Amino acid sequence: MMLLGQETGMAAYWGGWLLTIGYIGLIAMISMYGLHRYWLVFLFRKHLRNSKRPSKRYKDLPMVTVQLPMFNELAVAERVIDAACEINYPKDRLQIQVLDDSTDISKDIAEKRCEYWKNKGIDIEYRHRVDRVGYKAGALDAGMETAKGELVAIFDADFVPPRDFLKKTVHYFTNQRLGMVQCKWGHINRDDSLLTKGQAIFLDGHFVIEHTARNRSGAWINFNGTAGIWRKTAIAEGGGWQHDTLTEDVDLSYRTQLAGWDFLFLPWMNCPAELPPEINAFKSQQHRWTKGSIQTAKKLLPRILKSNINWRVKLEAFFHLTSPMVYLYVTLLALLFYPAIYVNLNALGDSRVVAIVIGMMFFVLGTISGGVFYVISQQVQKRSLIETIMLIPILMAIGIGIAANNAVAVLEALLGHESAFIRTPKYNVPGEDGNVVVKSKRRFGVIAIPTQKLSICLLELAMGVYLLECIRLSTIHGRTVVSFPFLVLFASGYWYVGLTSLWWHIQAWRSKRIMAAAGV
């Protein structure tokens, strides 16, 4: 009996150590990426005034092909075609390509709109595929066969390119080593809800801080799939559009820069777009971006790290491509909260000092870094500081709440699970971005998304219940009360995302029934 007790005690001792190592290791990994955010803010501040201007201007404007890839864009097909055809650029120097893989009546809408503009003298080509091989990458690659321009501008269907977009950007290509220009995304409907406000700030952080810091400090950036212009030669030398990842834009970007081409980000050139107005569309988009980034990391990071480029560029590429791993770390950390409270990390002793140090490290590096990152992204755009600070807890909750959804995406990528490219539903929401006012012509019911299964929603709600129990335990065990604020934040995030996802699932089912009854 004594021997059995000793064995049990040893198992508990080593179990406590393993738990402690796992718990602290996850916090350290999350904090490492948080520290990197501080580094990006530092680089942003350091290079804030290092903006670039074209070294010279074209005497004869280059030929430009505008590509509009779309798939079942019933709500926005007409809008983006009209905006592209109204771009202020010489007609004999501009070609519009509508690259349509649609399988519904949006095909007829797009084709008729192309005929309308062709009759007005616009060089517009309508290309329809029936097989969808390669999804968006396949459509773009197919369009290259008849693209006339030496430059290729790309806009997704939810974007509204400004009339002066080309005249303000093409002159940068007088630099013969410039392969791509990426412009900042605007947000037509940023003030519609807490969700759209949160998404707008997330994206502002990526564009305003990340892209600016990387590009101006000499690191590499990526094309974001839309609102950018490519040199056709650079696409070819980078290996062309490939579809073995879900982020064909990131993939081509790194391959092209490995081939020696330069990229440029223009933070002042705003291109308005629609944000997903409901949570399941947002989660679907995040799932694709997360999975695609990890797929690209698996595909290209070994090649990047073995290349003879500057080590700083390699390091930045590593953090950029592997950053979605944080979602997996956050989910695993949440799952360890309960055993951490139960075991109480006894392997490190009973002192509260250890718990406080760990908590403060996580708070400063894993939590506050995000707040600083996003507050500065809004401050430099002259948005309300008070409003932004008030939104930070919402941002954190949303980021944590989608962690389970994105952790699944990370695991799928790591395990090599193949999945289709699922477009983000567009609703043609009315809104305003800068001087661009967008009016809605139609309103549609909620669009169901195949990849957003109810099981993920139920998992998020289960995580919310689990964390409520962790909160209860943390109030009982005085030594773990330092974790209380984090537990509340985590629980709030999972409950918010889980409940709103369930609500929109129900609305999608109702819309589907109504549309089926109406014969749509």
Kindly write down the DSSP assignment for every residue of 92-116, as one continuous string: GGEEEEEEE---STHHHHHHHHHHH
Verify whether residue 249 is a known catalytic residue: yes
Number of H helices and E strands in the chain, helices first, is 18, 9
pTM, rounded to two decimals:
0.91
In a domain, 221, yes or no: no
In a domain, 397, yes or no: yes
Beta strands in 334-413 (DSSP E): none
In a domain, 3, yes or no: no
Please give the pLDDT value at position 506.
Answer: 87
CA distance 29 to 18: 16
Burial 63-102 (b: 16+ CB within 10 A, else e): bbbbbbbbbbbbbbbbbbbebbbebebeeebbbbbbbbbb
Catalytic residue among 101, 141, 192, 204: 101
Give the end of a domain, one of 119, 140, 161. Answer: 140
Please give the pLDDT value at position 515.
Answer: 63
Which distant-in-sequence residues (6+ apart) come within 8 Å of 334 by Cβ? 400, 403, 463, 466, 467, 490, 494
Is residue 125 scored above 50 in pLDDT? yes
Give residue-wise pLDDT tens across range 218-254. Answer: 999 999 999 999 999 999 999 999 999 999 999 999 9
Number of alpha carbons in the 13 Å side-chain half-sphere of residue 483:
34
The per-residue pLDDT of the chain, averaged, comes to 88
CB-based contact 263:220 (threshold 8 Å): yes
Mean per-residue pLDDT for 136-165? 97
Mean per-residue pLDDT for 274-278? 93
> Would the CA dihedral through 432, 436, 442, 446 be positive or negative?
negative
Please give the pLDDT value at position 347.
Answer: 46
Report the run of H or E that residue 168 belongs to, with start and end: helix 165-169
Report residue 337's pLDDT band, with 50, 70 and 90 as the boundaries.
confident
In 3-state terms the chain splits into helix, strand, coil percentages (rounded to 5) of 60, 10, 30
In a domain, 481, yes or no: yes
In a domain, 236, yes or no: no
Give the end of a domain, one of 87, 109, 140. Answer: 140
CA distance 301 to 50: 29
Verify whether residue 101 is a known catalytic residue: yes
Domain residues for 97? 63-140
Q: What are 494's two structure tokens?
A: 């999972």
| Of 104-108, 365-369, 503-507, minimum mean pLDDT range | 365-369
Nearest of 226, 232, 289, 279 to residue 256 by alpha carbon: 232
Please give the pLDDT value at position 3.
Answer: 46
Residue identified by tokens 């983000």 is 424
In a domain, 306, yes or no: no
Give residue-wise pLDDT tens across range 463-489. Answer: 999 999 989 888 876 656 667 888 899
Is residue 518 scored above 70 in pLDDT? no
Give residue-wise pLDDT tens across range 421-464. Answer: 888 888 877 666 655 555 544 445 666 665 567 889 999 999 99
Amino acid at 438: V
3-state secondary structure of 67: strand
* Total count of domains within the chain: 2
Catalytic residue among 100, 249, 251, 433: 249
Is residue 154 scored above 90 in pLDDT? yes
Please give the pLDDT value at position 123.
Answer: 98
3-state secondary structure of 438: strand
Pairing type for strands 151-154 and 64-70 reads: parallel
Domain of residue 136, CATH code = 3.90.550.10
Mean per-residue pLDDT for 44-55? 91
CA distance 157 to 11: 58
Cα dihedral 43→47→48→50 (10° resolution):
-160
CA distance 515 to 510: 9
CA distance 276 to 280: 9
Amino acid at 341: I
CA distance 520 to 514: 9
In a domain, 80, yes or no: yes
What percentage of the chain has pLDDT greater than the value 70?
85
Give the end of a domain, one of 109, 140, 171. Answer: 140
In a domain, 57, yes or no: no
Please give the pLDDT value at position 475.
Answer: 81
Report residue 13's pLDDT band, with 50, 70 and 90 as the boundaries.
low
CA distance 117 to 100: 16
